[in-house]
Amino acid sequence: METLANLSMGFGVALTPFTLFLAVAGAFLGTIIGALPGLGPSNGVAILIPLAFALGLDATQSLVLLTSVYYGCMYGGRISSILLNIPGDEPAMMTTLDGYPMARQGRAGDALVISGVASFMGSFLSTVGLVVIAPVLASIAYLFGPAEYFALYALAFATLGGMTSSNQAKSAFAACLGLGLAVIGLDNATGLPRFTGGNLHLMDGIDFLVAIVGLFAISEIFIFIESHGRSSAIGVTLGKLTIPWADLKATFATMLRSTGLGFIAGILPGAGASLGSFMAYMAEKSWVGSSGRFGKGDPRGVAAPEAGNNAAAGGAMIPMLTLGVPGSGTTAVMLALLMTLDITPGPLLFKEQPEVVWGLIASLFIANVVLLVINVPMVKLFVKILMVPPWILMPMVTMVSFVGIFSLSGSYFDMLVMIAFGVLGYVLRKLEVPTVPVILGILLGSAMEDALRRAMVISDGDWTYLFSTPIALGLWLFAAGGFLAPMFLRRLVKRPPIPPSDMPLDAD
């Protein structure tokens, strides 16, 4: 009952004309960002954050805008997967496997409608799941002390590292790099400078927005120049759009199963939407067995990954909102947004600023309805936008990044730091070091150090305190499992062949 009352309050906040406009604009922009190869949810949201500030949006409004963009990306990624055989972003990778074959058979329209409806099912149901589970998790989070939080941060790094990279040492290094960068600046507790080298610009530390835009957007420029923006795959033409009722009926159960799986994948810290769509596709394939035509244009192969990745996007919001620990790259970027708005996610957020949380949740429902409308009947419009060539797209991304960062502080130093992070991002990506743990380290570094130091104050320097409660011990075990398990699972589960693509893919 209380939940329903909260939800109606949320709709009261979200249904003002201006917020509604932001939700529609965000959904539209997000679909474009998701559909364009080379721009994904994490860098799309990243370059928009500074602009949301420059516009002077308040907390609820910026959250509505950027979550609509995030959800929109999840819908949009499928368009280029199906039409061009190039995933618009990483979570849409699995959709190419059956989406493109369907398009080759002249069923591009059917594939787009089925995947659009599957996206809606996935994200709508997972938002319902968010409403049910988030308050419960928030009340459990009250039991967390500094020792538990320290273990929780370790868990986030461990699972993120374990899932996203094929080399555990490299992803662990990425996390260390981020944590090390977070240390730069004045120490919170004593006010003494650390690693600033006497440079006044560094006293405030490294602004995580500058780092995010550099790592996610500027590094993309170098990748594109290296590949000369080769995306010459010839598109498939889209005929008349009809609603394939028979296929929708046949894939309904698939969508439900995949939503459940994707949702669970999303809640796990560090797993995210790519894993959600991967798990949903693989599970559906083995569920159907040999009667399916997976890989040759089976509608279920389009419905499963799309329901899975959208459900994961909703699920990933749960640990971010209730614990302050993001489940994926994009939710890490959303966390950066919250922190810049001086909102600390966690159980207290639900108690002290319920209008922010429930307004956000209500706007997720609204964004979903909007997205269904613009992604099924209006999909042809986005197909046109897909034709924007990289030599226009990348200069645009660059300039929007520069203006955004410049409007934050007005300093050329921040722009130089952003470029430096762009170069770093390029080198790391070439060496197959994941960049998401770097961001997570910069974001969570000071909170993690704080938790450790408070734990040591409580225990008077006794390190065993970190492992002293059952919850903390459970989290540590989970962390070890999440870090080590992928090493063994990788041998058991073989990835299906993804079509080779010259285009760089963005993590979610």
Partner 1 sequence: MASDRIFGLVVVIGALAFFAGALQIQTSFLSDPLGPRVFPILISGASLLCGLSILARPDPEPHWPARAAWVAMGAALVVLVAYAYAVVPLGFLIPTALASAAIGYLIDPKPVQSVIMGAALSAVLYVIFKFGLGLGLAALPRALMG
Q: Which residues bind partner 1 (CB under 8 A)?
A: 51, 54-55, 166-167, 169-170, 172-173, 176-177, 179-180, 183, 187, 189-190, 192, 194-195, 218, 221-222, 224-226, 228-229, 389-392, 394-396, 398-400, 402-403, 406-407, 412, 415-416, 419, 422-423, 426, 430-432, 449, 452-453, 456-457, 460-461
Residue 23 in contact with residue 64, Cβ under 8 Å? yes
Closest to partner 1 by CB, 54 vs 253, is: 54
Smallest separation, CB 430 to partner 1 (Å): 5
Which amino acid type is present at position 147?
A
Rounded CA-CA distance 157/440 in Å is 8
Q: Where are the beta strands (DSSP E) in 250-324?
A: none
In the block, which residue shows the tokens 């300039």? 399
Rounded CA-CA distance 107/99 in Å is 9
Residue 22 to residues 57, 68, 310, Cα–Cα distance (Å): 10, 8, 20
Smallest separation, CB 493 to partner 1 (Å): 20
Smallest separation, CB 415 to partner 1 (Å): 4
Residue 186 bridge partners (DSSP): 193
* Sign of the CA dihedral running 449, 454, 460, 465: negative
Smallest separation, CB 394 to partner 1 (Å): 6
Q: Where are the beta strands (DSSP E) in 40-186?
A: 185-186
Smallest separation, CB 165 to partner 1 (Å): 10
Closest to partner 1 by CB, 352 vs 432, is: 432
Closest to partner 1 by CB, 125 vs 466, is: 466
Rounded CA-CA distance 506/17 in Å is 33
Helix (H) or strand (E) holding 194: strand 193-194
Rounded CA-CA distance 50/31 in Å is 20
Closest to partner 1 by CB, 378 vs 427, is: 427
Closest to partner 1 by CB, 203 vs 423, is: 423
Closest to partner 1 by CB, 13 vs 444, is: 444
Rounded CA-CA distance 405/297 in Å is 44
**DSSP character at residue 27:** H
Give 35-48 as a DSSP string: HSTT--HHHHHHHH
- Here the tokens at position 332 are 């890490």
Helix (H) or strand (E) holding 186: strand 185-186
Q: Residue 89 in 3-state DSSP?
A: coil
Closest to partner 1 by CB, 262 vs 422, is: 422
CA-closest candidate to residue 335, choices 453, 450, 439, 202: 439
Smallest separation, CB 413 to partner 1 (Å): 9
Smallest separation, CB 202 to partner 1 (Å): 13
Smallest separation, CB 332 to partner 1 (Å): 19
* Sign of the CA dihedral running 427, 433, 439, 445: negative
Rounded CA-CA distance 91/376 in Å is 19
Closest to partner 1 by CB, 12 vs 395, is: 395
Smallest separation, CB 191 to partner 1 (Å): 8
Smallest separation, CB 198 to partner 1 (Å): 12
Smallest separation, CB 232 to partner 1 (Å): 11
CA-closest candidate to residue 350, choices 322, 313, 387: 322
Closest to partner 1 by CB, 353 vs 398, is: 398
Closest to partner 1 by CB, 227 vs 353, is: 227
Smallest separation, CB 388 to partner 1 (Å): 11
Which amino acid type is present at position 439?
I
CA-closest candidate to residue 321, choices 350, 348, 338, 345: 345
Taking the alpha carbons at both ends of the chain, their separation in whole angstroms is 34
Residue 101 in contact with residue 110, Cβ under 8 Å? no
User: How buried is 256 (Cβ within 10 angstroms: 0-12 exposed, 13-18 middle, 19+ buried)?
Assistant: middle
